[in-house]
Structure 1
Amino acid sequence: MISNEIIINKMMLAVTKHGIILEKTENSFENEGVFNPGIYQDGNTVHMFYRAVSEGNFSCIGYCRLNGPLTAMSLS
């Protein structure tokens, strides 16, 4: 008898808390706040997509590219 076997490999993730990395700025698209970041790391480059809130409670998606986990290189 042949049985089908499903093998699941669980990848362990290491989580490091760095505190506040990004705060609201004077930029019109995020002058009320930045929330809900989503992170993707490719080598030493970290890509962050987040909810940016402007005056009047209008939301859009912001993007920040970081060199390593803490040094912002570009913001849009």
Structure 2
Amino acid sequence: MPAKSIRNGIELVVARRSRKERRCETKTHVCVKTIYPGERYAYSSLPPWSEISNERWWHHTTCVACVNLYHPEIAKQLFGT
């Protein structure tokens, strides 16, 4: 089954299931959750020279709890919560 993805402006957000341990990279850096293998998470990416003035591709992983807290509309589309 392919990963579910949505476009949020120019940003691409994909729901994935982790194969290795990852760290939640919430913007506030309050979350210290580890995303364990088998858990779902949101993976975001922006192309070079987009709205954050990045020179290379920008990637960001976020745990389901933080997506639900900070972006409930995206969580509903990605995870159905």
TM-score (norm 2): 0.36
Higher helix share: 2
| Larger Rg belongs to | 1
Higher strand share: 1
